[in-house]
Chains A and B, each alone.
Chain A
Amino acid sequence: MLKYLFKRLLHGLFSIIMVVVIVMILIYSLMNRQLIFASDPLYAKRLNNAKYTYRYSKWEEYGYLDYVTYADYLIDLTVKGELDEETRKSAVSFGRTADKDTDIVKEYVAEFTEYYESRGYTVERLDAVMINPKKVADGGQQQLYAYKDIPLINRLVKYFTRLITVDNVNNVKDDIEDRGLTFTLFDPLYGGKTFSPAIIGNGTTHKYLLYFDNQFPFIHQNLVTINLGTSYSVNMGVDVFKTMTSPQGSFVLSEITFPTGFTEMSADNLHTATYISGSMTGNKVNEDRFDTDYTNVDLFRSGFSKMGYSFVIGIISVVMSYLLGVPLGILMARKKGKLLDKLGTVYIIFIIAVPSLAYIFLFKAIGGSFGLPTTFNMDSASKLMYVLPIVSLALPSIANLMKWLRRYMIDQQNSDYVKFARSGGLTEGEIFTKHILKNAIIPIVHGIPASVLSALTGAIITERVYVVPGAGNLLTEAINKYDNGVIVGVTLFYAVLSVLSIILGDIFMAMVDPRISFTSKSR
């Protein structure tokens, strides 16, 4: 069994990698990369040559290509010691056009061109754009740079190696004292007297690597970070995973004592502090509150995360649909051809045939006429706003469960074991609950992990119609805003969940039905 599982996991891993490959080909090679600037106000402001260089530097940031300017190249040489500072200074200012270069510039420009062209880069030199013979136009400074598209393999390797990062005491590049980890049983944030174990790092990116607090799931860690990909336009510069999991809503203020002893009403979550070089000194606000450069904190917010909202709504509707769908399906099978069965069939046809958008709007209209809130408001304390999204999600899955369970149970009714049970004198009720259901429920059990895990990804239409701030719309939003990092990240997340749910479904099925075995020894 273990060997089989391992093989399945490997297969799943292969599928996941291939999915990422396909998505990367789709978005990095097939889509028009000019489109990423569609919602960038800075790009529209750039003029002339600055527009080109801005474009390349952005494309580099978001992984399309590798981009090096002439100045970067010279600095690199200086760092390596092949060039002294004096020569660098005289070599760096190249002329407005190529024939105005000094001899030393000519020499280094030729070297730069040769160095990068031999590595497959395209070297471009843009002459200065002049308004008049003396004055350079806005953004029209001369430019010299080289760029090269990143090959798929490199991009893939880079993506997967960056996927999981473990915090390390050498992460901070600055010269700081006492690098290392401290383990304490009394978290200093709680005054150092209450029992609350924590691991505090110095030199790590996060200050608190492990800590307890009063929020679910009570124990938190910052040691391992998942980086699914940086967002560009959906949530500027923030990782997809963080976008999905960080809380939303209005700030929650509470009395907070900062490391310097300063106390105020604040929403700062000091446990999330990360290092920002030189952020404390010279900044009055930070100097008053912090004693180290670990000043970048997240804020306490009142709402759940995107994934949190999706999951709460999703999981309640999943539970509801199993609680209602399974008994209704059984009833339909028992009363086959009777009124209840016919009503159920009408309902199933309605859900299958009517476009999902249409019936969600219908539920919204019906619910609204009963006075239920039809839009979601994060700051509202009312739990009623959850009702309509949950019902809208549950009703179609109830129909689906009813349809399949009825089908399976009716198929089982003609089996020999049912006839045998009946001839043995069992009542119809006993036959249904003890014999038929046990066999018919197996394919249903297979789908349970999938429905639970897919609650994490959210529902696109439902969340849009009821304005739920969930994760369901992340992918469509990212596609509409050409945010490649988010697209890759979300796809990877979906793929992992889907692979996991199939494997878990098989395990569940084998647990429920002892006849199913994944080892081939019986054959």
Chain B
Amino acid sequence: MDYDFTGCGYSEEELFSRVDHNDLESEKITAPRYSYWHSVFRVFFRNKLNIVILAVLGVLIVFAYLYPMFIEYDRYANLMDAESKHLTPSAAMEKFGYNIHWILGSGGSGQSTFDAMWNGAKISISLAFICAAINMTVGVLVGAIWGFSKKVDIIMTEVYNIIGNVPYILFISVMVMLFTASFWTMVMALTITGWLGIAYFIRTQVVIIRDREYNLASKCLGTSTIKIAVKNILPFMTSIIVTLLATEIPSYISYEVFLSYIGMGLKEKSLGRLIFESESAMVTPGWEFEFWSPVIVASIITIVLYVVGQNLGDASDPRTHM
């Protein structure tokens, strides 16, 4: 029977209409398609702040990695020229001409502070990324095993108690004394015990999730331990691991600065080394740029990496995907 409702003030769309049975349509699953990583990035880019920060990170990476490739940086090029040392930006630009090298003035051996800063940033960022990659990989793997096996737990906890009490700088200084204080020595020194803390953190998380009901159910149904680890626990850990990474990477830059400051850092002119060498410039009028520019770049790098990592960590938590 046809009723005419058009007279009642309803438009056509608001009315019920007849839907016929369709075999093809009924075979489709109606839930929206869900892709984990797609959702992670959707949530991540929903926050406009993240785009800005990623752009800053991009600029930093370009300056740290591409800029030194296109310039000829020789720290001691102006060493013999006494008048080129410790210049303010304006004085340096007057002396050397108006280009990007001298916008931060010159340092103690007549080098460009701007170029020195980006060379240092390259070394520091590389160190942080390599150390984080090694420590995270080893730490997560060991931590997963540590959390799963009760026997390993007893041994590893004891090892952790012992190694954790040996001062970190002692390991590093012994490494530095055994080999020279080169980049790879520093990587080795920072990773030889660095993974232990991460492994311990992951172990605690694994222990918390391991005995949840759904894992017990999975175990009862005969799922293998490896499959439980990879399919049931790892997805839970993704956001934790990303958040951990966000604190780890800046911490290596920070640690490298600290080590250089106490005289145990790299021989290469990393950011930490630059800060250490120009410490006296902090209080000398007219020399401030030499000190503050590496400090500020180190701070910006660490803050940017930290914020990106934290927000990525938040985004990788499936509960935020709604």
Q: Which residues of A contact B295 (CB under 8 A)?
A: 355, 357-358, 361
Contact of B303 among A19, A349, A357 (CB under 8 A): A349
Interface residues of chain A, those whose CB is within 8 Å of chain B, are 11, 14-16, 18-19, 22-23, 26-27, 30-32, 35, 349-350, 352-358, 361, 365, 460-461, 464, 475-476, 479-480, 487, 490-491, 494-495, 498-499
Contact of A353 among B158, B165, B299 (CB under 8 A): B299
> Nearest chain A CB to B309's CB is how many angstroms away?
10
CB distance B165 to A19 under 8 Å? yes
**Cβ proximity bits B3-37 to A, threshold 8 Å, 1 near / 0 not:** 00000000000000000000000000000000000
Q: Which residues of B contact A349 (CB under 8 A)?
A: 303, 306-307, 310
Query: Could you list 17 examples of A-B contacts with CB < 8 Å?
Result: A11-B158, A15-B158, A19-B166, A26-B170, A31-B178, A349-B306, A354-B254, A355-B302, A357-B258, A358-B257, A361-B282, A464-B261, A476-B263, A479-B169, A480-B263, A487-B170, A498-B165
Q: Which residues of A contact B165 (CB under 8 A)?
A: 15-16, 19, 491, 494-495, 498-499
Q: Which residues of B contact A365 (CB under 8 A)?
A: 282
Interface centre among A11, A460, A479 (most CB of B within 10 A): A479
Q: Which residues of A contact B167 (CB under 8 A)?
A: 475, 490-491, 494
Known contacts A23-B166, A349-B306; A356 and B258 CB within 8 A of each other: yes
CB distance B261 to A358 under 8 Å? no
CB distance B264 to A354 under 8 Å? no
Known contacts A19-B166, A358-B299, A494-B165; A352 and B262 CB within 8 A of each other: no
> Nearest chain B CB to A464's CB is how many angstroms away?
7
Q: 11 additional contacts, CB 8 Å, given A26-B171, A355-B298?
A: A15-B162, A16-B165, A31-B174, A31-B177, A352-B306, A353-B302, A356-B254, A460-B262, A461-B258, A475-B170, A479-B170
Q: Is B161 on the interface with A (CB-CB < 8 A)?
A: yes
CB distance B254 to A476 under 8 Å? no
Q: Which residues of A contact B247 (CB under 8 A)?
A: 352
CB distance A353 to B250 under 8 Å? yes
Q: Which residues of B contact A26 (CB under 8 A)?
A: 166, 170-171, 174
The chain B residue with its CB closest to the CB of A480 is: B263
Contact residues of B: prevailing secondary structure = helix
Contact residues of A: prevailing secondary structure = helix
Interface centre among A26, A357, A491 (most CB of B within 10 A): A357
Q: Is B186 on the interface with A (CB-CB < 8 A)?
A: no
Number of A-B contacts (CB under 8 A): 113
Interface centre among A27, A365, A476, A487 (most CB of B within 10 A): A476
In the complex, A11 Cα to B250 Cα: how many Å? 34
Q: Which residues of B contact A487 (CB under 8 A)?
A: 170
The chain B residue with its CB closest to the CB of A491 is: B167
Enumerate the 10 nearest inter-chain pairs by beta-carbon distance, A residue then B residue, closest first.
Answer: A355-B254, A353-B306, A353-B303, A495-B165, A355-B257, A354-B299, A18-B162, A353-B302, A479-B173, A358-B295
In the complex, A110 Cα to B171 Cα: how many Å? 44
**Cβ proximity bits B32-54 to A, threshold 8 Å, 1 near / 0 not:** 00000000000000000000000
Q: Which residues of A contact B253 (CB under 8 A)?
A: 355
In the complex, A461 Cα to B263 Cα: how many Å? 12
The chain A residue with its CB closest to the CB of B298 is: A355
Contact of B166 among A30, A356, A479, A491 (CB under 8 A): A491
> Nearest chain A CB to B256's CB is how many angstroms away?
9
Contact of B177 among A35, A358, A490 (CB under 8 A): A35
> Nearest chain B CB to A495's CB is how many angstroms away?
4
In the complex, A35 Cα to B166 Cα: how many Å? 22
CB distance A491 to B170 under 8 Å? yes
**Cβ proximity bits B246-275 to A, threshold 8 Å, 1 near / 0 not:** 010010011001100111100000001001
In the complex, A476 Cα to B170 Cα: how many Å? 8
